Amino acid sequence: GESVGLHLPTLSVQEGDNSIINCAYSNSASDYFIWYKQESGKGPQFIIDIRSNMDKRQGQRVTVLLNKTVKHLSLQIAATQPGDSAVYFCAETLRNSGNTPLVFGKGTRLSVIA
């Protein structure tokens, strides 16, 4: 039969509004988290990271929030622009436990409406 495409969660946001992308991570022992952005035709690019001893970290127009109690990570993008349209992935790992590769989430597709 014909292949079915992966149906990613999609968030549509009006240009200029704020975006919030959520991620539930799997391992309560994970101590380092990263958000990646993947534009069409490109590989994932690092946006921002956060360690488990923090609950909030801000970058340029982006903020990551970490809630370890419910294993939840969110990425907030202020004043969303058309160039923010992409798939966003969260990733987790244990930095202090030897060689543990990143584990990626399924991703959320952000569409910015001009």
Q: What residue ranges bind another protein (CB under 8 A)?
A: 3-6, 32, 34, 36, 41-46, 49, 89, 91, 93, 95, 98-102, 104-107
Give the Cα separation of 96 and 89 in Å (integer): 22
Nearest distance, CB of residue 75 and another protein, angstroms: 14
- If the CB atoms of residues 3 and 15 are measured against another protein, the closer one turns out to be 3
- 31 close to 96: Cβ distance less than 8 angstroms: yes
**CA distances (Å), 25 to each of 20, 45, 70, 86, in order?**
16, 19, 9, 20
Nearest distance, CB of residue 83 and another protein, angstroms: 17
- If the CB atoms of residues 49 and 74 are measured against another protein, the closer one turns out to be 49
- If the CB atoms of residues 13 and 87 are measured against another protein, the closer one turns out to be 87
Nearest distance, CB of residue 14 and another protein, angstroms: 27
